[in-house]
Amino acid sequence: MSEQLSGNGTAGSGTAAEQRHVVVVGAGMAGVQTAVALRERGFAGAVTLIGAEPHQPYDRPPLSKAVLLGKAEGSAFDIDFEALGVTLQLGREVTGVRPADHELDTATGPVPYDVLVVATGAEPTRLPGTDGVPGVHLLRTLDDAERLRPVLAEQHDVVVVGAGWIGAEFATAARDAGCRVTVVEAAERPLAGALPAAVAAPMAAWYADAGAALRTHARVAHVEPGAVVLDDGTRLPAGAVVVGIGARPATAWLADSGIALGEHREIVADEGLRTSAPDVYAVGDCSSFPSRRYGRRLMVHHWDNALQGPRTVAAGIVGETPAVYDPVPYFWSEQFGRFVQYAGHHEAADTTVWRGDPAGAAWSVCWLRDGALVAVLAVGKPRDLAQGRKLIEAGTALDAELLADPARPLKSAAR
C-alpha cells in the first residue's frame, strides 16, 4: 500500500520530510482519519496513534443507536492499521506535552515527536453531586454503552437528564427497549442550545408520541439511589439515570503546555488547524477553527467535522498549499423514528424559511443571509439536505418564495 501511495507524487514523498515522525494523540474518529489521510497523501514517515481507551478504535454514533440496543456488537473501524503502517498504542493516556522539547509525557515515559496532532475529542459534562451515585450513567464511550445495555434489557424506569441530541437518542433507544422514560430538561424546550424556539418546539411532541415524558423547566436538585429529585420537590423513580448535558473538549492535559485554549477550554486552531505551538495541529471535537465562510470561530462537536478536518491536517503536514479548513458543518441525528439532518451555520438574524408543516413527518427549514442559503435543517427530507448543502457550499442566492414551496425541489429556488 505504501508503495502505491508514495508513488502518487504528492508533496512530502521522496523528501526529508518523510523521515518525520507524526504522533497523533486520541484514537477516535479524528485521530484515525488523520493517520489514514496522511497515508492517502503519500506521507511515508512514521505515524503513531496513541489512545487512552483500551479498545480497537471505534466509531461513536452507533453507541446511542445500534450498539446500545444490542443490534450491533461494536463499531470498530474497519481499518488495517498494520497494513497502513500505523503504530497503535492503545490504553495509553498522554498526560502532558512540552512543545519546546517536541515531547509528550505518559505514565510509562516520554514520547518524542516531530509533528503532533491533538485529537483528544470531548468528555461529557457530569451532573454535579452525582459522582459515585450508583445507577448514574454517561454515554460517550463503548464502555458506557456496554454498561447501559443491561439497563435497557432490564426495562428499568429511566430518567434522562438533558433533552439534547444524546438525551433524545438515548430516550429513543430506551423506549424501543420498553423502558419507562422521563426526560428532564432545565430549558423550556428540547435542543435549546442548538436550535431556535420555533424550530425545536415541534420536536417536543416527538417525545410524547414515543411515550416518553418530557419535563421542561425542570432542574435536578439531587440524585439518590433509585430516584431523581427535582428542585420543586418532585421525586422521579429511576432505576437508572442517564446524563446528557453536553461535552467539553478533553484538554485538561494541555494546561501547562502553553498551547492556547479558548473560552470553552478548546484548542484554538488557525485555518490550517495549526495550534499556537510549532508543529502541533488540533482537530475534531477538541478544537475550534476560524470559519472564513461564516466569519466567526466555530467549535463543532459532530462526526463529519472529525472526518473532514483530518484531511486539512494531513495536507498541511505534507506541505500541500493552501491547506485551509472551511467546511459547511454537517450532522445528523436519529431520534423517535425520525432522521434529522443539519448543514451549515445560522445566526438569530438570518431569515427563516419553512418548507412543509412541522407537525408532519417530513419538513425542512432554511436560513438565508443576504439572499443566500447559509443553513438547512431537514427532518425526513434527505434530498433537501443534500441539495441545500451544495447550495450553501456554492453560496447561491435563492428565491425565498419558491423556496417556501415544499412541492418544488429545494434547488429549483436558485436564482
Binders of ligand FAD: how many residues, by CB under 6 A? 36
* E-assigned strand segments in 62-210: 86-90, 94-98, 103-106, 111-112, 115-118, 122-124, 136-137, 157-161, 180-184
Shortest reach from residue 64's CB to ligand FAD, in Å: 4
CA distance 76 to 60: 9
Shortest reach from residue 253's CB to ligand FAD, in Å: 4
Helix axes of 29-40 and 303-318: crossing angle, nearest 10 degrees = 40
Binding positions for ligand FAD, 384-413, rule CB under 6 A: none
C-alpha cell of residue 269: 486552531
Does 250 interact with ligand FAD (rule: CB under 6 A)?
A: yes
Shortest reach from residue 263's CB to ligand FAD, in Å: 19
Does 36 interact with ligand FAD (rule: CB under 6 A)?
A: no
Applying CB under 6 A, among 5, 38, 127, 139 the residue interacting with ligand FAD is 139
Q: What are phi and psi for residue 125, nearest 5 degrees?
A: -75, 135
Other CB atoms within 10 A of residue 256 CB: 9
Name the β-bridge partners of 352.
367
Does 162 interact with ligand FAD (rule: CB under 6 A)?
A: no
* E-assigned strand segments in 256-415: 267-268, 280-282, 287-291, 296-298, 330-335, 338-344, 351-355, 363-369, 372-379
Shortest reach from residue 119's CB to ligand FAD, in Å: 5
CA distance 115 to 194: 35
Does 28 interact with ligand FAD (rule: CB under 6 A)?
A: yes
Name the β-bridge partners of 414.
398
Does 27 interact with ligand FAD (rule: CB under 6 A)?
A: yes
Applying CB under 6 A, among 6, 46, 56, 61 the residue interacting with ligand FAD is 61
Does 77 interact with ligand FAD (rule: CB under 6 A)?
A: no
Does 339 interact with ligand FAD (rule: CB under 6 A)?
A: no
CA quadruple 401, 403, 409, 414: dihedral sign: positive
CA distance 296 to 305: 16
Binding positions for ligand FAD, 89-128, rule CB under 6 A: 93-94, 119-122
Does 60 interact with ligand FAD (rule: CB under 6 A)?
A: yes
Stretch that binds ligand FAD, among 53-61, 196-204, 289-297, 353-361 (CB under 6 A): 53-61
Shortest reach from residue 226's CB to ligand FAD, in Å: 25
Shortest reach from residue 340's CB to ligand FAD, in Å: 9
Does 43 interact with ligand FAD (rule: CB under 6 A)?
A: no
Give me the residues that bind ligand FAD (CB under 6 A), please: 25-31, 50-53, 60-61, 63-64, 93-94, 119-122, 139-140, 166, 250, 253, 284-285, 301-304, 306, 331-333
